[in-house]
A and B are shown apart, each in its own frame.
Chain A
Amino acid sequence: MIRLTGSELIELGKLYALANTPPSLYHALAKNSSVRRMRTEMGPAVLAADFNRFSARDKRSEVSLGLAYATLVALLTHPERVEVPRTVERLKWGRAFVELAKSSGLVTSTRVIDALQYRVQTTTSPASPLILHPRQD
């Protein structure tokens, strides 16, 4: 589990909102410090579970989409063997991200993963209306 501050979440939303193409977003997120922390401090099953949760949200915003894409990039660039959830299709550029990771040899297969033990958690709510609620359980 890692904690993301409001400014870190807003930065993810900014990258999403400024990206014109899937590769530009993928590479910008791969270099982002929050994504690097997710990659180094979280396991792939945890990241996949978080991705499933973030991408399933009905009400989407640039910040929530930025967070979902960030989690996906952390998963796809994880040093351990990566299995990609089929739920990548929930994101418009999810499949393109998998193809980008495949082209760099990071992804080997596609499979649904149901690990729900950990999560990304916010420590502060970003300035309204950029609300991402931490789980209370």
Chain B
Amino acid sequence: MIRLETSQGTGIDNHQDAELTHQVLALHKQLKRDHPNADERCDASVNYNCHGLTFASRRTWVFKPLDIAMILDEDEYTEIPDMHGTLPGDIVVYFSEQGDPNHSGVIVGAGPPLIVPKVCSKWAFCGEFLHSLHDCPPMYGPIKKFYRCTR
């Protein structure tokens, strides 16, 4: 665990996993085959997860749903109601039907002529991928919300 806080100084629970196994490396390769239109940005890494990429500069795992809500609030993220209003640098959070923030990523391509934003996100223990909004593992959830940090 490293020291990690919101812009208002509230602590964010986190952890760093230690060991990268060949099972993860094999799964990462399988994901590349399963998502041929997604571009691999970097190989598997256990040091951070998607929320660690989006909210903690790739330093650690941020994994508590309440912490994600707190970050969005205390770092003054504003929701963008329509994906067509997103810009590179905005973020997307994938929610489950239960409202849990299962996944997140950074928008890297958006707006005309692109219809669907392109996202850079890390798939848990596996690597980072550049993918279209919907082209990621289905367990991440059907609800996508877009945010911009306006602080």
Give the distance in Å from the alpha carbon of A61 to the alpha carbon of B20 in the complex: 10
Q: Does B118 contact A (CB under 8 A)?
A: no
Answer whether A23 and B139 are a contact pair too, CB < 8 Å, given A61-B23, A62-B24. Answer: no
Are A17 and B63 within 8 A (Cβ)? no
Q: B98 to chain A: which residues have CB within 8 Å?
A: 23, 27
Answer whether A17 and B124 are a contact pair too, CB < 8 Å, given A23-B98, A24-B100, A62-B27. Answer: yes
Q: Does A15 contact B (CB under 8 A)?
A: yes
Contact size class for A?
A: 20 to 34
Q: Does B65 contact A (CB under 8 A)?
A: yes
Are A20 and B103 within 8 A (Cβ)? yes
Q: B23 to chain A: which residues have CB within 8 Å?
A: 13, 17, 61-63, 129-130
7 contacts between A and B (CB under 8 A): A13-B23, A14-B30, A18-B124, A18-B126, A21-B64, A22-B63, A62-B24
List 10 extra interface pairs beyond A21-B51, A61-B21, A63-B23, CB under 8 A.
A13-B27, A15-B139, A17-B27, A21-B63, A23-B100, A24-B139, A27-B98, A62-B23, A62-B24, A62-B27
